[in-house]
Structure 1
Amino acid sequence: MFTGIIEAVGTIAAIEERQGDMQLYIRTAELDLADVKLGDSIAVNGVCLTAIDLPGDGFWADVSRETLAHTRFPALKQGEKVNLEKAMMPSSRMGGHIVTGHVDGVGEVLSRADDARSVRFVVRAPANLKRYIAGKGSITVDGTSLTVNAVNDDCFELNIVPHTVQETIIGDYSAGRQVHLEVDIIARYLERLVSCRAPEAESDGAGLTLAKLAEHGFMRR
């Protein structure tokens, strides 16, 4: 489990094809690896990867075909910068929100505009994820926990403060950039809970709605 608070910006140091999947070597820069052991999880651009070797200045990780199919990792290039976060400890402060490191889809940055000292972005999400994105709700973009300013159909707006721009790879975003998205896990479980109580909800194509929440006792009428 992660919090979406990026701890360091690392670099893709090596990419190796391995019989249909991939191994990555990520140089971790200022990320402290003293408490990391083989088998531990580190989120790379929001993707939970397992450290299989720790040479000293970074770690090697396997990337499965499943991960390659649902992320932009096939387009990674050597030297590319990536957001890094170690798995949280039980004593960690929950600074962002609950992040699993399981990417739900790949979005696209549509626009970037300065807004005083902040930067505003508009991002388009895959159509199947838009029902999970709510204004003033949480979303993870390349592993960074962010607040959604507003939603317009399958597009959502973000306001990024200077610290986040400086301390993550978001500062490098421009229109056309693909980004990993992980929606709020609470929304996913709530939809599943409702659909299990009402099997017809899975087949009517409407997804989770206010009417369904009220019908099944999750809202006051």
Structure 2
Amino acid sequence: MFTGIVVACGRVTAREERGGNLRLEVQVPPAWTEPLQVGDSIALDGVCLTVLARAGDRFVVEAVEETLRRTTLGTWTVGRRVNLEPALRAGQALGGHWVQGHVDGTTVLTDVADRPGSRLHVYALPEVWRPYVVPKGSIAVNGVSLTVVDVTPTAFSVSLIPYTLEHTNLGDLRVGDVVNVELDILAKHIYALVKPYLDRWPGGP
């Protein structure tokens, strides 16, 4: 379990395809202080993976075919900057929202607008995601917990403060870039519970 509060950005230093899987080596920054051991969970751009090896300032993870199909991991190249968040530990502050590290899919950044003190990102909204994305609701983009600003039938927007732009890879994004998205788990569960009743309601949901 995670909260969408990225603690640092690492860099991909090696990649190796193994059958249908992809093994990645990631270097943490010099200021990294988080405990990280073999077997621990860590989120890379919002994708929960298991640490397979750790040596010095580098660790190794491996993604299976299903993960590669649903996320951007398969396109990562050496040198890519990635958001890092260790798994939430008992007693730690829940600074963002409940994030599982189970990415629902990817979407495209369609527009960027710089504003005084912030930057607005607009992302394409697949039709299947519409029930779970609402204004002022939570959403994780590349593992970063964000608040939805506005929603249209085809897009949603989020506002990024300077700290987020500097300390995550969201500040590197340009129009056309693809990102990982995890929808709010609470919204998904609530919708799953009420949908059978909505389907029986005259006129549908």
Question: Under TM normalisation by the shorter chain, which class is it?
Answer: over 0.9
Structure 2 matches for 1:48-127, cutoff 5 A?
Answer: 48-127=48-127
1:216 maps to which residue? none
Matched residue SS, 2:3: coil
1:217 maps to which residue? none
8 Å CA contact retained: 1:106, 1:126 = no
- Tell me, in whole angstroms, the C-alpha distance in 2 between the residues paired with 1:177 and 1:161: 19
Letter in 1 for 2:103: V
With the length of structure 2 as denominator, give the TM-score of the two structures: 0.94
Number of equivalent positions: 202
Letter in 1 for 2:13: A
Matched residue SS, 1:54: strand
How big is each residue's C-alpha offset from its partner over 1:37-89, in whole Å with a ceiling of 9 and x where there is no partner? 21110000000010000012121011000101101111111100000000011
1:36 maps to which residue? 36
8 Å CA contact retained: 2:131, 2:191 = no
Gaps of 5+ in 1: 210-221
1:168 maps to which residue? 168
Structure 2 matches for 1:108-187, cutoff 5 A?
Answer: 108-187=108-187
- Tell me, in whole angstroms, the C-alpha distance in 2 between the residues paired with 1:130 and 1:31: 37
8 Å CA contact retained: 1:105, 1:126 = no
Letter in 1 for 2:25: Y
- Tell me, in whole angstroms, the C-alpha distance in 1 between the residues paired with 2:71 and 2:148: 21
Letter in 1 for 2:153: D
2:194 maps to which residue? 194
Letter in 1 for 2:150: A
How big is each residue's C-alpha offset from its partner over 1:134-165, in whole Å with a ceiling of 9 and x where there is no partner? 00100000000000000011301111111111
With the length of structure 1 as denominator, give the TM-score of the two structures: 0.87
Percent identical pairs in the alignment equals 38
**Aligned-residue offset at 1:99:** 0.3
How big is each residue's C-alpha offset from its partner over 1:97-152, in whole Å with a ceiling of 9 and x where there is no partner? 00000000101100111101211111113221122100010000000000000001
Matched residue SS, 2:33: coil
Between structure 1 and structure 2, the one with the greater Rg is: 1
- Tell me, in whole angstroms, the C-alpha distance in 1 between the residues paired with 2:59 and 2:193: 38
Matched residue SS, 2:52: strand
